[in-house]
Amino acid sequence: MRWTWGHTLLALGYILYVLPSLLLATVPDRVSIWWVLVGLLLAGVILTRVIINRRREAEILLVNQQRLHTILMQTNAGGGGCLAGWPDVPDQSPGL
Protein backbone atom coordinates (compact mmCIF):
# COMPACT_ATOMS: atom_id res chain seq x y z
CA MET A 1 0.00 0.00 0.00
CA ARG A 2 1.34 3.42 -0.96
CA TRP A 3 1.65 6.30 1.47
CA THR A 4 -0.85 8.99 0.46
CA TRP A 5 -1.71 12.50 1.64
CA GLY A 6 -4.64 11.00 3.56
CA HIS A 7 -2.22 8.86 5.53
CA THR A 8 -0.08 11.93 6.18
CA LEU A 9 -3.03 13.92 7.52
CA LEU A 10 -4.11 10.99 9.67
CA ALA A 11 -0.60 10.65 11.07
CA LEU A 12 -0.39 14.38 11.75
CA GLY A 13 -3.72 14.35 13.54
CA TYR A 14 -2.64 11.40 15.62
CA ILE A 15 0.76 12.89 16.44
CA LEU A 16 -0.45 16.40 17.19
CA TYR A 17 -3.77 15.74 18.88
CA VAL A 18 -4.47 12.19 20.05
CA LEU A 19 -1.07 11.13 21.31
CA PRO A 20 -0.31 14.29 23.33
CA SER A 21 -3.80 14.34 24.85
CA LEU A 22 -3.47 10.71 25.95
CA LEU A 23 0.00 11.27 27.37
CA LEU A 24 -0.85 14.58 29.02
CA ALA A 25 -3.59 12.93 31.03
CA THR A 26 -0.87 11.38 33.21
CA VAL A 27 1.88 14.03 33.16
CA PRO A 28 2.09 17.52 34.69
CA ASP A 29 1.14 20.61 32.66
CA ARG A 30 4.71 21.87 32.36
CA VAL A 31 5.60 18.91 30.11
CA SER A 32 2.90 19.68 27.53
CA ILE A 33 5.07 22.03 25.48
CA TRP A 34 7.63 19.24 25.03
CA TRP A 35 5.01 16.89 23.61
CA VAL A 36 3.93 19.56 21.17
CA LEU A 37 7.53 20.08 20.07
CA VAL A 38 8.08 16.34 19.70
CA GLY A 39 4.86 16.08 17.67
CA LEU A 40 5.94 18.90 15.39
CA LEU A 41 9.34 17.31 14.92
CA LEU A 42 7.81 13.95 14.03
CA ALA A 43 5.33 15.62 11.68
CA GLY A 44 8.22 17.38 9.96
CA VAL A 45 10.09 14.11 9.55
CA ILE A 46 7.02 12.39 8.09
CA LEU A 47 6.32 15.22 5.64
CA THR A 48 9.96 15.34 4.59
CA ARG A 49 9.97 11.61 3.88
CA VAL A 50 6.75 11.86 1.87
CA ILE A 51 8.13 14.73 -0.22
CA ILE A 52 11.43 12.93 -0.85
CA ASN A 53 9.62 9.72 -1.84
CA ARG A 54 7.34 11.59 -4.25
CA ARG A 55 10.32 13.27 -5.90
CA ARG A 56 12.12 9.93 -6.26
CA GLU A 57 9.02 8.38 -7.85
CA ALA A 58 8.74 11.30 -10.28
CA GLU A 59 12.42 10.99 -11.22
CA ILE A 60 12.12 7.23 -11.77
CA LEU A 61 9.04 7.72 -13.96
CA LEU A 62 10.83 10.37 -16.02
CA VAL A 63 13.89 8.16 -16.54
CA ASN A 64 11.69 5.20 -17.54
CA GLN A 65 9.75 7.39 -19.96
CA GLN A 66 12.99 8.64 -21.54
CA ARG A 67 14.31 5.08 -21.87
CA LEU A 68 11.11 3.89 -23.51
CA HIS A 69 11.19 6.84 -25.91
CA THR A 70 14.82 6.07 -26.82
CA ILE A 71 14.04 2.39 -27.41
CA LEU A 72 11.03 3.21 -29.58
CA MET A 73 12.98 5.77 -31.61
CA GLN A 74 15.84 3.31 -32.20
CA THR A 75 13.39 0.62 -33.25
CA ASN A 76 11.57 2.92 -35.66
CA ALA A 77 14.84 4.32 -37.09
CA GLY A 78 15.89 0.85 -38.21
CA GLY A 79 12.77 0.37 -40.30
CA GLY A 80 10.37 -2.49 -40.00
CA GLY A 81 7.40 -0.64 -38.57
CA CYS A 82 6.77 -0.48 -34.86
CA LEU A 83 8.45 -3.80 -34.13
CA ALA A 84 11.77 -4.86 -35.58
CA GLY A 85 11.38 -7.68 -38.05
CA TRP A 86 7.85 -6.81 -39.10
CA PRO A 87 7.27 -5.59 -42.63
CA ASP A 88 6.48 -1.94 -43.28
CA VAL A 89 3.44 -2.77 -45.39
CA PRO A 90 0.88 -5.12 -43.81
CA ASP A 91 0.08 -6.73 -47.22
CA GLN A 92 3.57 -8.25 -47.37
CA SER A 93 3.12 -10.37 -44.24
CA PRO A 94 2.24 -14.01 -44.87
CA GLY A 95 -1.26 -15.15 -44.10
CA LEU A 96 -3.01 -11.80 -44.54
What are the pLDDT digits (tens) for 55-74? 899 999 999 998 888 888 87
pLDDT of 57:
92
Residue ranges of domains in the chain: 5-77
Kindly tell me if the per-residue pLDDT of 77 is higher than 80.
no
Asked if 75 and 64 touch (Cβ cutoff 8 Å), the reply is no
Better-scored residue on pLDDT, 83 or 12: 12
pLDDT digits (tens, 9 = 90+) for 6-62: 787 777 777 777 766 766 666 566 666 677 777 778 888 888 888 888 889 999 999
Give the whole-angstrom CA distance, residue 79 versus residue 54: 38
- pTM of this prediction? 0.43
